[in-house]
Structure 1
Amino acid sequence: MGKIVYEKRIVEKMIRIYCRSNHDQEELCDECRELLDYALLRLDKCKYGDKKSACGKCTTHCYKPVMREKIKRVMKFSGPRMLFHHPLDAFRHLLNK
C-alpha cells in the first residue's frame, strides 16, 4: 500500500474518532466531513507523493491556516485514542516516525 493511501486511511480514522467523541454522531458531521474532504484533497495533491514525510515535519505547508488548526486539534485529540481504537495503525505510525 502506498504512503498516500495509508495516510488517507489514518486521517479518516482520526477524524471519525474526533467527531464521534466531540460531536456525538456516528456519521461525520458537516464540519468534520469538510475537514476530511480537504485533507484527502491535500494528500491527492501532495507534490512529494509516496516519498512524503509526515505532514507535521513537511517544509511545504499546503493547508490553509484555519484548516491546519482544525487538523492539529483532531490529531492532538485522536492520536492517543488511536491506541485503543486502531492499535495496529497506531503502532505502525510509531514505528515509521
Structure 2
Amino acid sequence: MMKDVIDSAVEKKRMDELKTVKCMIEIYCRGNHNTKKGELCQECQDVMTYAEARVQHCPHMEHKTFCAMCKTHCYAPTYREKIRQVMRYSGPRMLWRNPIMTIRHLLLGWGMLK
C-alpha cells in the first residue's frame, strides 16, 4: 500500500517535470524559431522527445530537484547544452507566462516541496 502511494507521488512529480520542460521548450521555440503558440519546430520537438525519454527513465525522480543538480548526467552533451540554452532563455520568461508553474518549480528546487 505504501509503495503505491510513493509510486503515485513519483509519477505525479515526473508528469509535473515534463509539463515544465515542455512549457520552457515552447517558450524558447516560439521566441527563437517563430513558431505558433503550442507548436514546436522539428529541432525543438527532438529536444522535447529526448527530454521526455530522460525524465521517464530517471532513476532519481523520487529524491531529485533539478536535473542540473543531479549527480548523474543522463543527457548527452549536445542535448545538455541545448537544454541549458532553453532554460537560460525560458527561465526569466516563465514567471510571466506561467507564474504558478514557476513558483512550484522554484519551491521544488529549494527543497520546500517534494
Q: TM-score, normalised by structure 2?
A: 0.81
Residue 5 of structure 1 is matched in structure 2 by: 15
Matched, 1:50 2:65: no
Matched, 1:82 2:94: yes
Q: 1:8, CA displacement in angstroms?
A: 0.2
Q: Is the 8 A contact 2:65 2:108 kept in 1?
A: no
Cα distance in 2, alignment partners of residues 63 and 95 from structure 1 = 24
Residue 5 of structure 2 is matched in structure 1 by: none
Q: 1:51, CA displacement in angstroms?
A: 2.6
User: Highest CA radius of gyration, 1 or 2?
Assistant: 2
Cα distance in 2, alignment partners of residues 20 and 74 from structure 1 = 11
Cα distance in 2, alignment partners of residues 74 and 49 from structure 1 = 21
- Amino acid of the residue matched to residue 51 of structure 1? H
RMSD: 1.1
Cα distance in 1, alignment partners of residues 106 and 94 from structure 2 = 11
- Amino acid of the residue matched to residue 71 of structure 1? I
Cα distance in 2, alignment partners of residues 93 and 71 from structure 1 = 16
Cα distance in 2, alignment partners of residues 3 and 23 from structure 1 = 29
Q: 1:95, CA displacement in angstroms?
A: 1.7
Q: 1:92, CA displacement in angstroms?
A: 1.2
Matched, 1:19 2:29: yes
Residue 73 of structure 1 is matched in structure 2 by: 85
Q: What secondary structure is seen at the aligned counterpart in 2 of 1:51?
A: coil
Bigger RCO (CA 8 Å, 6+ sep): 1
Identical-residue share of aligned pairs (%):
46
